[in-house]
Chains A and B, each alone.
Chain A
């Protein structure tokens, strides 16, 4: 069963649904948040792994590529994503980020529920965007 999108009339124009419902028998995948730095990086952070382009489009592209990889590794796609959290250090980036995310996910026919939060700082000093994703897979597709 594909996650069901729930839309309410007032928010139909939004780029994401008001809610997404799951069926209750799915396998859940809880993913750590990721900025544009490589998924695997040392802790404590080392400076050379945390160098990022300031351009928000490029940061968004890299973050989406990271989740492409994590989803694919688990045999999942964006259509299996039920929730995306966007954390932004500057809300003026939001339109650009949302446009890029919506376009990328639309290629996969996906429109997960979404929350957008403006925050103070992310784990890498130059990071402007962190995404976090929750995905599900129906029980019948589990091997």
Chain B
């Protein structure tokens, strides 16, 4: 039995959504909760360009997942936090550079916020992943 399943209520419209309406995770799974990945180093200049910011965050998360033996195909749920909703399309296009073409898509909640953990930060991603216990 796969440890998790992508739930589509309407397969004919599945390609409308870049995220899953729901993800089902079976018992015996271990959760990995990742911290946010805004560049925390105040010495480094934060690029204003949204795609550069998304690439940094996604790169950090890719490394954190790999450190646990995981990939984006193991991600159950993400929160996307944006300071400017006009960035939404650019964010999704850039995230897709990292998430691969396996067809897996996590559940996703997208929220517009006032500010993020560092001045100038436009994008933050909260990630929950799952791995099967031995």
Contacts and interface: CB of A to CB of B under 8 A. Distances in A.
A44 interface: yes
B11 to A, nearest CB: 11
Nearest to A24: B27
> Range of interface residues on chain B?
20 to 34
A41 interface: yes
B106 to A, nearest CB: 8
B16 A32 contact: no
Contacts of A31: 21-23, 107
A73 B9 CA distance: 7
Tell which of A40, A85, A130 has the most Cβ of chain B within 10 Å: A40
B16 A40 contact: yes
Contacts of A130: 109, 111
Contacts of B114: 119-120
Contact of B25 (A28, A69, A121): A28
B27 A69 contact: no
A43 B17 contact: yes
Contacts of B85: 121, 123
